[in-house]
Amino acid sequence: MLHELFQEIDNNYDEMIEIRRYLHQHPELSFHEYKTAKYIQEFYNKLNIPFRASVGGNGVVAKLVGAKPGKTIALRADFDALPIEDEKNVPYRSKNQGVMHACAHDGHTATLLTIAKVLNKYKEQLPGTIIFIHQHAEEVAPGGAQPMIADGALDGVDYVYGTHLWTNTPYGIVQTAPGNFMAAADKFTITIKGNGGHGGIPHQTKDPIVIGSQLVTNLQQIVSRKLDPLTTAVLSIGKFHAGNAYNVIPDTAVMEGTVRTFDPELQQLIITEMEKIIKGTCQSYDADYTFDYQKGYRPVVNHSIHAELIIQSAENLEEVNSAEMSVPSMTGEDFAYYLEERPGAFFFTGAQKKDQFVPHHHPMFDFDERAMKIAAKTLISTVMEANLL
């Protein structure tokens, strides 16, 4: 049966591309994906597959019941876009100014819809039940996963799987890992309140730029000098804003950054050390500050047997050059919450274009669309194998 299903994926590849490119031209921001949700609903209506709309917000959950007994398995795809201007010179460039699918969520949705169409055609031979989870708002914490779960997206589900089309990895490679796979992703904001003045008379000021510069350096010592070198953590400053004129020392400076961890105790240790360093540095300059730390998504922790199942499923595909266990990624994903509720696993489907690496969340982002076929076939094969567990 797998051979027939794979052939159907190939037969529907052109439509899969059409879906992806349509969605790419019509992106919507997190929590505002109304037309995208409607598009997904209309697709299931045409297939006569029952679904629930407005699940936990803008989410859509469809249910396909096979004629044969088996497990209930959920597959998840996200469908929100990012506030980025699409700079690609392609026919399917975004038509919504300042909004872009720069993280392959359009491809995730096209893949899952195509899987639904193919499996629906073979539902008389299909074991168990497939739950298609189309999730809104992955890009912006608190995200769409938790409210969708609270609204019953995983009710009755035995296992849950998902993939990310991943341009950091070349086309033809599938990667996952048992246990820790993607990190907890937190955000922090530090506001330094100094005392501005003339750039030529700095001794009369409390320069927040100098203080902030010290903080950038001092905070890096948490990972390099406060943590066991065998542990894994990242602390990065991604934004530093102060002042509006070259010859004026401003009153305030604002820094924003992220912390990535896998261990909650390590996460708390970093927060505690940050508070010490920020307080001590600002006090040494007689400046005030505020420190706002927001915990984001928790780590994506794969269940080992299901990560192994994904590798076994992928390595049997002729399009796959390598199916491998990889080191964890310090990127974040709210798929974490599904795996806290049910056994399953998340994996990367290599989607890097040949000789053309563009990172996720970049204005020129694009991916090798052939990767959608690998993602679809890997998920279908995993569903079939999971029914035998």
- DSSP string of 120-149, one letter each residue: HHTTTT-EEEEEEEEE---SSTT-SHHHHH
Tokens describing residue 67: 């004629």
Give residue 162's pLDDT: 98
End-to-end CA separation in angstroms for the chain: 18
- Catalytic site includes residue 286: no
In the residue annotation, 273 being an active-site residue is answered as no
Tokens of 41: 């609903």
Please state the CATH superfamily assignment of the domain spanning residues 2-183+299-386 in this structure. Answer: Zn peptidases (3.40.630.10)
Quote the CA–CA distance of 87 and 73 in Å, as a whole number.
38
Low-confidence spans in the chain with pLDDT less than 50: none
CA distance 102 to 111: 16
d(CA 236, CA 249): 25
pLDDT at 355: 82
**Within a 13 Å sphere around the CA of 233, how many CA atoms are in the beta-carbon half?**
26
For domain 185-297, give the CATH number.
3.30.70.360
Q: What is the pLDDT of residue 139?
A: 97
Catalytic residue among 138, 158, 186, 334: 138
What is the model's pLDDT at position 356?
Answer: 85
The domain spans of the chain are 2-183+299-386, 185-297
Active-site annotation holder among 8, 28, 33, 80: 80
- Closest by CA position to 50, among listed 64, 40, 60: 64
66-119 residue pLDDT tens: 999 999 999 999 999 999 999 999 999 999 999 999 999 999 999 999 999 999
Cα separation, 28 vs 37, whole angstroms = 10
User: CA angle 177-181-183, nearest 5°?
Assistant: 170
Q: What is the pLDDT of residue 27?
A: 98
